[in-house]
Structure 1
Amino acid sequence: MNRMTRPSAWERETLGCLPLLAALDLDTVAAMLELAIVRSAGPRQMLFREGDPADTLFCVLSGYVRTFHLSPQGREVDLLIHEPGDVIGSSVCLDRQTYCANAQATESVKVAQFNLQRVRELAARKPDLALALASSLSGQFASSLAMLADDRLHTAPQRVAHYLKKQCPQGARNVSFRLPYQKNLLAGQLGLAPEALSRAFSYLRRHGVSVRGRLVQVNDPEVLQSI
């Protein structure tokens, strides 16, 4: 599946609420909406590959998109999992000629895509758009640094425990929730091999965590904070 359409009224409203557009002046939002094309992609479909000409900026409307590097030996290293509202490609908005990573739909996804040259031209006239793009890039850079620090400072059980704690409402007990994506993607997001994630889940059983498929039960989220 790879269908492209002009955004519907509902999709235009959704786009206007996304972080990239929500802070813009109304006329800048209108100009961006005129550039928008909505694209539907199926599970594991590539949006772009590392080294492809960088000609499109993406915003996730629904579903999840993973960005990753591929080594010459074929090993995949996950960078980020992009959620609804996230921008993909802000790092190429300045002067990069090619994409510096691969982007793949993790499931059926819907993204808004914008011609990058047109976005650059608009940003040159609209400082609010230039600032919003810079803010998006800064946020992704901060997320990457946080992930790097997490890799260096915490064990696998600690990384998983902290992730699960963040999914629980503050002060709640006996929390049940569904992982937003498959475990192999969660492992990549946390910088773990799938088998290391499985071992971490096994370790956390003694701390009141049970996992069945993508369903998670946490007896006392505060216990996870001390792991």
Structure 2
Amino acid sequence: MRDRNTLIRSPLVSCLSPNSMARMMELATVLNFESRDILFREGEHAEFFYCVLTGYVRLYRLSREGREADIRVCGSGDTFAESLLAVDDTYHYNAQAAENVTLARFDLQKVRTLAEKEHDVANAIIQCLSACLRSTMDCVANDRLQTAPQRVAQYLLDNCQEGAGTASLRLPFQKSLLAGKLGLAPEALSRAFSTLRTCGVTVRGRMIQISDVSALRQI
């Protein structure tokens, strides 16, 4: 029931009519993966796209030398590989379970066929792709306009309660995953947290204390 409710609330499904929602739910196959399991690799023929129900999935690419570059961290309700609904193609990145995860898997061809018949399904797909594009453009802009401490500060502020003078946060995943999410090397993330100590940011494992939120906003 929890997984069903998460899927119903996801951007892909929540805006559908009752009939289309029921048909999408029929197409979903719920799967569990353990931490570090590979869901698919770059270059493989694409048959499915996914929606995260619990946990986190890491999307990344590999260089010829084996260096990894994180593209996105997907959490509950996020879809990935849905861009392949537009074309019959191969996966353009690797997908790995960052921890134990539960996913809803959809057959690309079956959803294409449904979208051709049900306009609200097609519109939901367009909205998901549009949101992904806007998010990607924001990430590119932040990479160019913000320093590493500013990126970390913005992430913390986005997770602070509005109007709070102090805050206590627990990272939902390991700091190495946060580094990839923000486009930073792990050592760059550590240096950024060290810089933010002057703004009252204290890090103990996954717990982060912020003694002065207003000072953090000035970074």
Task: Report the TM-score when normalising by structure 1.
Answer: 0.94
Aligned partners of 1:91 and 1:30: how far apart in 2?
A: 22
Aligned partners of 1:96 and 1:73: how far apart in 2?
A: 29
1:107 match = 99
Aligned partners of 1:100 and 1:39: how far apart in 2?
A: 22
CA displacement at 1:17 relative to structure 2? 1.9
Taking a change above 3 Å as real, the CA distance of residues 130 and 182 of structure 1, as seen in their structure-2 partners, is same
CA displacement at 1:152 relative to structure 2? 0.5
Cα pair 1:46 1:102 within 8 Å, conserved: yes
2:118 match = 126
Map 1:195-210 → 2, pairs under 5 A: 195-210=187-202
Q: What RMSD in Å do the two structures reach over aligned CA positions? A: 1.0
Deviations along 1:132-164, one digit per CA (max 9) or x if unpaired, are 111111111111111111111111111111111
Match of 2:33 among 22, 41, 55: 41
Match of 1:211 among 195, 203, 213: 203
Any runs of at least 4 consecutive aligned residues in structure 1 with deviations exceeding 6 A, and if so which?
A: none
Aligned partners of 2:214 and 2:113: how far apart in 1?
A: 49
Map 1:148-227 → 2, pairs under 5 A: 148-227=140-219
Letter in 1 for 2:111: V
Aligned partners of 2:151 and 2:38: how far apart in 1?
A: 28
Matched, 1:20 2:12: yes
Aligned residue for 1:129, secondary structure, equals helix
The number of aligned residues is 219
In structure 1, list runs of 5 or more residues that go unmatched: 1-8
CA displacement at 1:12 relative to structure 2? 2.7
CA displacement at 1:91 relative to structure 2? 1.2
2:3 match = 11
Deviations along 1:12-62, one digit per CA (max 9) or x if unpaired, are 333222211010011101111111110000101111111111111100000
CA displacement at 1:90 relative to structure 2? 1.3
Cα pair 1:64 1:106 within 8 Å, conserved: yes
Deviations along 1:163-207, one digit per CA (max 9) or x if unpaired, are 111110011122111111111111111111110100110111111
Taking a change above 3 Å as real, the CA distance of residues 99 and 178 of structure 1, as seen in their structure-2 partners, is same
Cα pair 2:6 2:76 within 8 Å, conserved: no
CA displacement at 1:10 relative to structure 2? 4.1
Give the fraction of aligned pairs with identical amino acids, expressed as a percent: 49
2:65 match = 73
1:3 match = none
Aligned residue for 2:73, secondary structure, equals strand
Deviations along 1:83-113, one digit per CA (max 9) or x if unpaired, are 1000111111101411111111100000000
CA displacement at 1:11 relative to structure 2? 2.9
Cα pair 1:79 1:144 within 8 Å, conserved: no
Aligned partners of 1:83 and 1:209: how far apart in 2?
A: 25
Task: Report the TM-score when normalising by structure 2.
Answer: 0.97
Match of 2:109 among 106, 117, 123: 117
Match of 1:82 among 60, 68, 74: 74
Letter in 2 for 1:198: S
Aligned partners of 1:194 and 1:14: how far apart in 2?
A: 31
Aligned residue for 2:157, secondary structure, equals helix
Aligned partners of 2:200 and 2:59: how far apart in 1?
A: 32
